[in-house]
Amino acid sequence: MIFIMCGVVMGLAEGSNMLIIGRVLLGVGVGICCNSVPLYINNVAPVTLRGSLGTLHQIGVVTGNPETEINKLTATASAFVLGF
């Protein structure tokens, strides 16, 4: 729910202040998810899968960061080439 709210705030932002507020709220939401998902996995998963599922979560976080940067660079380069 917090991600939808942040998207709406940033999408309807009329100034930099609203955009900054949306980004801060989004950062809080991501921080909550990064802390609560491993706890949830450890409480719900069977004992034999806990380590593997925790590792998969961490791999997802670690590989998501470079993917985001690559997508951002690709979008910036495309916009530059197309003249946007």
Question: Residue 84: its pLDDT value, please?
Answer: 67
Determine the pLDDT at residue 46: 92
pLDDT tens per residue, the chain (84 residues)?
A: 888 888 898 899 898 899 899 999 999 998 898 889 889 988 999 999 988 998 998 898 889 888 888 988 888 887 777 776
Other beta carbons within 10 Å of 61: 14
CA 7: distance to chain centroid? 12
Name residue 24's amino acid. Answer: V
Domain boundaries, the chain: 2-82
Whole-structure pTM over 0.75, yes or no? no
